[in-house]
Structure 1
Amino acid sequence: MIRISLKRYHYRILAALHEFGPASQAQLGRRCRVDRSDIVAAVNALVAEGFVDRSPDPGHGRRNRVTLTEDGLRQLRRMDELLDRAQDDLLAPLSAEDRRTLTRLLGQVLAHHEPG
């Protein structure tokens, strides 16, 4: 199997499939904020790795349904562990209360800049 270099949007796709279940490529693109022109290539790469399955949606003939595989779930968990370690290293000088405050403040900034 070809090894790909996973990108942030690959993580977002795997995480969205884990959290929300199977979805069309269009739904994944919107949910993960991956441009329509890039979602097909991203899903193709994840299919090639065996992290997701893509099959025709039985309810809609022109739509594909993307599903997280067991290998994809294992990859997501590995990525979560790496991200947790990186976050712990980055935030090491902050107390637990300071971390909560930082998270709350960053959430406010992100919410302010949400589209729509």
Structure 2
Amino acid sequence: MTTDSGGDASEMDERETPARLRALPSRLLALTAARADRLVSAGLAEEDARKWHYAVLATLDEYGPASQAGLSRRTGIYRSDLVAVINELAERGHVERTPDPEDRRRNVITLTEQGGRHLERLDEVLAEAQDELMEPLSKLERELLTSLLGRMLKR
């Protein structure tokens, strides 16, 4: 969304936005989501990472080694896109790709020690982004908002 001056939605003067737009929860969620995406992407970029890198590393850390198909299901990353993500992570030493002993046509992806350390750093980066995003809210308000958003997504 751009303004006449060429800025993005975060630069809009809300006083010039019609009241019926300012009151739409869907609009507020979309604008907040866009800001959150910018904060997260910028933080990860400083660590030479992307959201998909984080998703794969976090999934491997939580669930252990997985096939590419399993990673695709758990992360929501299309298989064709996931191959490139795994290649990038493998080149950096964050994951290992080995043939599946049960089916040598498949690969098993495993988090390396270096990948675990990188994931810990990315966790810190994301925590900082979350803090910046939620800065106007108290701890209780943050917990409530997170709970409410989770409920909305389950519908």
Normalised by the size of structure 1, how large is the TM-score?
Answer: 0.89
Distance between the aligned counterparts of 1:58 and 1:83, measured in 2? 35
Residue 70 of structure 1 is aligned with which of 90, 106, 113?
Answer: 113
Work out whether 1:50 is the aligned partner of 2:93: yes
Work out whether 1:84 is the aligned partner of 2:124: no
Aligned runs of 1:1-116 on 2, under 5 Å?
5-112=48-155
Counterpart of 1:30 in structure 2: which amino acid?
R
Distance between the aligned counterparts of 1:37 and 1:109, measured in 2? 30
Counterpart of 2:120 in structure 1: which amino acid?
R
By relative contact order (CA 8 Å, sep 6+), the higher-ranking structure is: 1
List per-residue Cα deviations over 1:53-109 (Å, max 9, x = no partner): 000010112110000001100110001001111111221221111111100111122
When the two structures are aligned, how many residues end up with a matched partner? Answer: 109
Distance between the aligned counterparts of 2:56 and 2:49, measured in 1? 11
Distance between the aligned counterparts of 1:27 and 1:67, measured in 2? 12
State the percentage of identical aligned residues.
51
| CA RMSD between the two structures | 1.3
Distance between the aligned counterparts of 1:13 and 1:40, measured in 2? 11
Distance between the aligned counterparts of 1:5 and 1:96, measured in 2? 30
Distance between the aligned counterparts of 1:13 and 1:62, measured in 2? 21
- 4+ long deviations beyond 4 Å: none
Counterpart of 1:108 in structure 2: which amino acid?
R
Normalised by the size of structure 2, how large is the TM-score?
Answer: 0.67
Residue 50 of structure 1 aligns to a residue in which SS?
A: coil
2:8 is matched with none
Counterpart of 2:56 in structure 1: which amino acid?
I
2:4 is matched with none
Please say which structure displays the higher CA radius of gyration.
2
